Amino acid sequence: MTTLLTITGMRSAYCASAVYTALGTVEGVESARVVIGEAVLDHDERVTLAALEAAVAMVGYKVIASREL
């Protein structure tokens, strides 16, 4: 499965790196590509939007939209 997250508050490469690291802690995430303002994740069915939102919030940002690709 692939999910696109739109994330608010990211303004630098450091922000993208922090989000990348946080998303990597979610069990079931296989890969993540993070740029300022969004993340594209490949994952299995164990991953929930709530878990992704919590990981992003843990590093100080907010998921404002998501969609399956």
Fold for 2-68, please state it. Alpha-Beta Plaits (3.30.70)
> Mean pLDDT throughout 8-37?
97
> Mean pLDDT throughout 4-10?
97
Whether 19 contacts 39, CB under 8 Å = yes
* Per-residue 3-state assignment (H helix, E strand, C coil) for 12-55: CHHHHHHHHHHHCCCCCEEEEEEECCEEEEEECCCCCHHHHHHH
pLDDT score for 67: 97
Whether 7 contacts 65, CB under 8 Å = no
Which pLDDT tens digit goes with each residue over 27-61?
999 999 999 999 999 999 999 999 999 999 999 99
For residues 52 and 3, what is the distance between their CA atoms, to the nearest angstrom?
10
Task: Report domain extents, the chain.
Answer: 2-68
